[in-house]
Structure 1
Amino acid sequence: MSHTPKKVFVEGPISPQFVADSIAKHQSKTSIGAHNIFLGQIRADEKEGGQVTGIEYTAYPEMAESVFHQIREAAFGKFELTCMHIYHSLGVVPTGEISLFVFVSSPHRRATFEALEFIVEEIKAKVPIFGKELIGEKGEFAWKENR
């Protein structure tokens, strides 16, 4: 079963209200027995030149969304999922704010744990998103490496 490609990118940080609204929209789906959520938050790491104050994300959206779609299809093929939503920020996300929101739903909890880890690791390994760490008050930057 092939799913329609979804828009993944949001401008700036992902708000707690957006996360809450996403959860609320699933209350009518009574075949769901479990949800699992991953929220990627920007850390204030210490770098040469100062502390990280945020990350500026850029991507070639069409290419990145194609890879996100492949990851979605692979996860639906591998795990018993009812729903899956992936959102990633573009632009500047200050420290303490959310830049990645992955939300999976299934009739059973085990599938949500396994699928969530698979999806987040695949995103980190394969999606061409570039993060520029903004450092210190002078606005210096360093390209972020995914680990």
Structure 2
Amino acid sequence: MDKKKPKKVFVQGAIPPEKIANSVANHQSKTKIGAHSIFLGQIRADEVDGKTVTAIDYTAYEEMAEKVFHEIRETAFAKFDITCAHIYHSLGKVKVGELCLFVFTSSAHRKIAIEATNFFVEEIKAKVPVFGKEIFEDETHQWKVNK
């Protein structure tokens, strides 16, 4: 199991597409990797009670959330033969169409990378104390319910 110190997961605001491109580029020199799997969470313009979501404002008890992210990461390294894994989650306001979650795994083989990414996403949704407040076009808001 990977016994490294917890990595910083949170970024302020939306995750820029350049972060994704740079992550892929930074792995080109790692010649034991044969596959990458990427999950990108994007803010949808959901309609709730006749109002359209324009953004989500994310908050978290960061210290606790970082610990849970780390535990998920440790479990994934024990469960899957992955070379590396990176997770980034937004804090603060993220507008419709922008990215709020970036999960990136690498492995020698595609099936393992894909399975590990799916594991990360499901565990994050189920266990990490991150809360999203949906903001509507009329500036009203409500807490988001994960589906």
TM-score bin (small chain) = over 0.9
Partner secondary structure for residue 82 of structure 1? strand
* Match in the other structure for 2:17: 16
Deviations 1:27-84 (A, max 9, x none): 1111100000000000001112521001000001110000000000000000000000
Structure 2 partner of 1:119: 120
CA distance in 1 between counterparts of 2:89 and 2:123 reads 14
State how far apart, in whole Å, the 1-side matches of 2:118 and 2:64 are. 22
Q: Distance in 2 between matches of 1:74 and 1:139?
A: 40
1:142 equivalent to 2:145? Answer: no
Match of 2:90 in 1: 89
User: What residue ranges of structure 1 are gaps of 5+ in the alignment?
Assistant: none
Amino acid at match of 2:139: G
Amino acid at match of 1:84: A
TM-score w.r.t. the length of structure 1 is: 0.97
1:33 maps to 34
TM-score (norm 2): 0.97
Which residue number corresponds to residue 78 of structure 1?
79
Q: How does 1:26-65 map to 2 (within 5 A)?
A: 26-48=27-49, 50-65=51-66
Q: Residue 121 of structure 1: CA displacement?
A: 0.2
Moved over 3 A (4+): none
Q: What code does the residue aligned with 1:57 have?
A: Y
* Alpha-carbon separation, structure 2, partners of 1:27 and 1:117: 23
Question: Higher mean Cα deviation, 10-19 or 44-53?
Answer: 44-53
Structure 2 gaps of 5+ residues are none
Q: State whether residues 68 and 127 of structure 1, in contact with CA within 8 Å, keep that contact through their aligned partners in structure 2.
A: yes
